[in-house]
Structure 1
Amino acid sequence: MKKAVAVLFGLMLLLAAAGCGKKNGNFDQMSGPEEGDPVATITIQDMGDIKIRLFPDQAPKAVENFIGLAEKGYYDGLTFHRVIADFMIQGGDPTGTGSGGESYFGSDFEDEFSDDLFPLAGSLCMANRGSNTNGSQFFLTTTSEKVDDGTLKQVEEAYQLRYDKDLDFGSMTETAKKNFEEYGGAYWLFRQHTVFGQVYEGLDVLHQAESVATDENAKPLNDLIIEKITISEYGK
């Protein structure tokens, strides 16, 4: 039950903060990009690059939003305003408070949940204030906690007791369960946030970023700056 409580705490923190493969059968979220796939490079000042494969087939609107904002320089110079070790780093808010930001489309857009994508270790996800409230904020998961059916049931029971509603683990496919058991990740966020990318290079930089000192609100004591985000096609 201690694990379930810790998981629920992490979920509450994130919700409060937000104010090579093919699709269909052969898709592998954890494989590297193929030639021509869209990729993003997040350069963190004084740390290095995190390279991310994007998934336009599974999350077209989230990818379009991220690429559109990145290509106009929206993210350049912003900070990761919220960092929780062994959970995630969150950025994309021009105010640096966790309550700002605007999507490429000018208004919030809907969630995109895919049976192909899960919040595994190193996943790029949209931050939100609840269902269908996606804007400019995003986070990268850093946890690699692995899970089995017993842990899932424990978390579901604790969540039901606390909030009197169910998590969506009942719709978790066998593929999802296998991925969480093999790779680990933020399984308690399943179908809570749109997953639209996966780190394939620079995990060491991501883990360095999650290790910075923070205050009681999980804000880094020294600015963790996104120097730039660049978009390219893999292999070109």
Structure 2
Amino acid sequence: MKIKIAIDGFAATGKSTQAKKIAKYYGFKHIDSGAMYRAVTYFAISNGWLNNKINKNKILENLEKINISFQDFNNNQHTILNNVDIEENIRKMDVADKVSQIAIIPEIRYFLLQKQRLLAQNNSIVMDGRDIGTVVFPNAEYKFFLTANEEERVKRRYDELRNQNNIVDFKSVLKNLKNRDSQDTSRSISPMEPANDAIIIDTSNKSIEFIFNKIISFINL
């Protein structure tokens, strides 16, 4: 039996960190669905279709040219776009600032939905994102939704970006998170919300190990 564990939640609540740890603990495949949206965003920016304004038609015309996969390097998952490692590129602020413009387009959501389900077809997986438990895998055996207070989330994202050598300030990070929250929760297609049967966990002021142990305490494998 192939097991699916869905971890949804707001940006900078620790979704990917926990998903990686849980996948490693159980020997499952980890899929970062957010990285897939970032990959499409980076593809659009690189081709000049998402700079000052979005060229939706051009992006949609070229969707089938996008091939996204994941590879492990030194125990870290890297996102591969058309055989090129773009992991470092998709974590930069220019991509983060524009990814919600991509995520609200229904055709792109459907395109990535099919890819997400295909990646999980032959594997037990842990997938993190914003609509995994509600749309991608509504029948997942285990569903979690992570939250955290705004101050904590801004600090986490600020530290993460600084560690990746991005030049950022608290105000720009706060603005980015507020914009993403608004767009993610208000979009008409697959808005971010906890699944009815998801376990909601507040990660504010909690250690990574504490949250990890809390999550696996609900998993009976």
Query: Which range, TM-score by smaller chain?
Result: under 0.3
Give the helix-richer structure, 1 or 2. Answer: 2
The normalised TM-score by structure 2 is: 0.26
